[in-house]
A = this chain, B = another copy of it.
Amino acid sequence: MELNKKRSDCPLSGSLDVFGDKWSLLIIRDLMFGNKCTYNDFLKSDEGIATNILASRLKGLEENGVIEKTAHPDSKAKFLYRLTPKGIDLLPMIMEIYIWSDKHYEMPAELKATIKEAKKDKDKFVKQITKELKTKMTEKKQ
């Protein structure tokens, strides 16, 4: 893929090389909030990602240490994708995107309420979700 293609020393540019496209953050969103964790789960998301693009993005995110791919406990045909701690650390940034979007665009009412809650104490919200995600991580291990 786009491995080792550092465009500059800027950390922002480096970060965009990891998730700066139209799809990667949507996969991460699905892992964070959508209770999705398999290839087919991601395929079924509203945006309609193409199957080859999904495969390539999953590979890229895994190579960059944002997600990890493990055996699915229910079936040998399936894989289970989950966020690594590095991936979970993207939560504050994603939260800020939602907050920005809330300020400048229309918003589903239910999400609006959640964002309002989150804004009241960002750190608390981040810690809470992070804890939930890390719990989910460990509970399925082995």
Residues on A close to B: CB < 8 A? 7-17, 20-22, 25-26, 29, 45-48, 65, 86, 89-90, 92-105, 107-108, 111
5 pairs from A and B in contact (CB 8 Å cutoff): A8-B46, A9-B108, A10-B46, A12-B25, A90-B100
Q: In terms of DSSP, what is the predominant structure of the interface of chain A?
A: helix
Contact between A22 and B17, CB atoms less than 8 A apart = yes
Contact status of A11 and B46, CB under 8 A, knowing A16-B22, A89-B100: no
Give CA–CA (A111, B14) in the complex, Å.
14
Residues of B contacting A101 in the complex (Cβ-Cβ under 8 angstroms): 11-12, 14-15
Across the interface, A111 reaches (CB within 8 A) one of B11, B20, B45, namely B11
Contact between A29 and B47, CB atoms less than 8 A apart = no
Give CA–CA (A92, B11) in the complex, Å.
16
Contact status of A26 and B15, CB under 8 A, knowing A9-B46, A97-B93, A100-B89: no
Contact between A22 and B20, CB atoms less than 8 A apart = yes
Closest residue of chain B to A99 (Cβ to Cβ) is B92
9 shortest interchain CB distances as A-B pairs: A11-B101, A93-B96, A8-B46, A7-B47, A92-B96, A8-B47, A20-B22, A15-B101, A15-B97
Residues of B contacting A15 in the complex (Cβ-Cβ under 8 angstroms): 97, 100-101
Residues of B contacting A47 in the complex (Cβ-Cβ under 8 angstroms): 7-8, 10, 13
